[in-house]
Structure 1
């Protein structure tokens, strides 16, 4: 995930938190990570792109149309999915939270201090993230920043940061599968499970084998930001990757599941402005075999 993609994702969480009275996901820290000039610049760029997103739009809120119709749904869907499972895994005994390709994710700053949080990303991204967090005065006592390349052997850097491979862990790999080949992504999952305790859990979102207008536009946006979406996955692919990694698939959620589990209340309250999960994205919870889950 490059800086622009990470900035837009953070802006999406900020925008939803600030403007939506029927929140699906609440992220008050997202607005503190971004500067006012960045918020204004992203908002203006989005509004100026309404012809790309919705050429026939005639309403008076192009930013709202773009964010709620195209950008925010995938971001808040995966964030809400991750939050639900993170909280459950902590109740079940996880004591470490590893966020791969952390970008400007703020979920690690809102959990119990006795949970060790490890944020993994490119060194320059990690440096910028730490600067923003410090400038915002956000407490990061339980956060360890790990600069690394997820396409290479990142485990030594994670271990050097204090990660305990014998401790039950919750892993988040949001937004990663889009920009790796299937082999690279499968290898990343296998590496994490090989270096974690039994019953450790991992969540991720992935581009499925369906297609729709929103996903086509997102692929074009990714290309414009210097990132190419490299793979798609069927449910069979995901089951195979889990098996090769010594894990089990505990949940596979598609857009209909996300709409029911996370967006239903919002859409009942704001039926004129529904937020719908993207059909081309699915969500997965995997758990490492061993013991009683």
Structure 2
């Protein structure tokens, strides 16, 4: 992660959400009306790639991954809110806009590198978007050894109340040690807390589309200083979560995460099939850590 401003992946992720509304047809998988504005003066530079090469398999695959995992996560979050959950933690939030789009009772906590958060605050102001009233920024660097849950508690987070946690587009960029350390902290959450996390499949489990996507994208992100480091099979992800006090609710291939809205499309938007989303719930009993 860069020390000043968001990472390249955070910018490209926001651009993918913005471009989905511009270059992809109906049905819309995920609606983020603020992503383009948040990118500010660099928005068109990032979105132009999608305008000019909308059907490129890497760009279409990136859009599909971003919007399908966001759709899946926020659908599950909505269910949790209906059950009474009022704390939503976004690990590696980047330029996520849920707090801008939501008018509900949820307290949103964004955990990310302080440089990203500072840039985002300024970007919201430049775009004329009001500061979300129920948003708390928690600066943390998961790779450096900081425990995000310790940082959450220091900023007023209530470990006694269940929370919903999203951890999207992050684990591949962390070492296995950092992933396990973060899960150890999350094991302190109240029973009934939920997590949605996506993870990139190991090479041996990738089909032809996923292999082609990885062969193109991995050198690009590595060249930008953000190499993929951790790959997890569904079984490995489930075992890791269970080891840290979670029970798996479901595991969904990326291509199925948004249901027919993605799977049955006839345009260029298509899953790269390189990742799986795991949804898990914190078990009752003694907290980890």
TM bracket, shorter-chain basis: 0.7 to 0.9
1:34 to 8, 23, 39: 39
Shift of 1:282: 0.7
Q: Deviations over 1:202-261 (max 9, x none)?
A: 111100122311122221221122101001111221121111111101010114423645
Check 1:94–1:231 CA distance in 2 against 1; reply closer, same or farther (3 A cut): same
State the secondary structure of the residue aligned to 1:230: coil
Question: When the two structures are aligned, how many residues end up with a matched partner?
Answer: 270
Q: Which residue number corresponds to residue 218 of structure 1?
A: 217
Distance in 2 (alpha carbons) for counterparts of 1:78 and 1:199: 21
Work out whether residues 113 and 141 of structure 1, in 8 Å CA contact, stay in contact via their aligned partners in 2. no
Q: TM-score, normalised by structure 1?
A: 0.85
Q: Which residue number corresponds to residue 55 of structure 1?
A: none
Distance in 1 (alpha carbons) for counterparts of 2:61 and 2:120: 26
Q: TM-score, normalised by structure 2?
A: 0.86
Q: Which residue number corresponds to residue 25 of structure 1?
A: 30
Q: Which residue number corresponds to residue 123 of structure 2?
A: 132
Work out whether residues 98 and 120 of structure 1, in 8 Å CA contact, stay in contact via their aligned partners in 2. yes
Q: Deviations over 1:119-160 (max 9, x none)?
A: 111111110111111222323100011111123223332122
- 1:64 aligned onto 2:54: yes
Distance in 2 (alpha carbons) for counterparts of 1:259 and 1:99: 20
Q: Which residue number corresponds to residue 13 of structure 1?
A: 17
Distance in 1 (alpha carbons) for counterparts of 2:273 and 2:104: 36
Q: Which residue number corresponds to residue 118 of structure 1?
A: 109
Distance in 1 (alpha carbons) for counterparts of 2:245 and 2:232: 19
Check 1:261–1:164 CA distance in 2 against 1; reply closer, same or farther (3 A cut): farther
Work out whether residues 123 and 148 of structure 1, in 8 Å CA contact, stay in contact via their aligned partners in 2. yes
Which structure 2 residues correspond to residues 61-100 of structure 1 after superposition, within 5 A?
62-66=52-56, 69-100=60-91
Check 1:261–1:286 CA distance in 2 against 1; reply closer, same or farther (3 A cut): farther
Higher RCO (C-alpha 8 Å, min separation 6): 2
Unaligned runs of 5+ in 1: 48-60
Q: Which residue number corresponds to residue 148 of structure 2?
A: 154
Which structure 2 residues correspond to residues 181-260 of structure 1 after superposition, within 5 A?
181-194=175-188, 196-209=189-202, 210-211=205-206, 212-258=211-257, 260=259
Check 1:125–1:259 CA distance in 2 against 1; reply closer, same or farther (3 A cut): closer
Check 1:261–1:91 CA distance in 2 against 1; reply closer, same or farther (3 A cut): farther
CA RMSD, Structure 1 to Structure 2 (Å): 2.0
Check 1:115–1:256 CA distance in 2 against 1; reply closer, same or farther (3 A cut): closer
Work out whether residues 205 and 283 of structure 1, in 8 Å CA contact, stay in contact via their aligned partners in 2. yes
Q: Deviations over 1:80-107 (max 9, x none)?
A: 1111111111112211001111110112
Q: Deviations over 1:40-64 (max 9, x none)?
A: 22245x37xxxxxxxxxxxxx6421
Distance in 2 (alpha carbons) for counterparts of 1:283 and 1:219: 20
Work out whether residues 99 and 172 of structure 1, in 8 Å CA contact, stay in contact via their aligned partners in 2. yes
Unaligned runs of 5+ in 2: none
Distance in 2 (alpha carbons) for counterparts of 1:80 and 1:256: 12
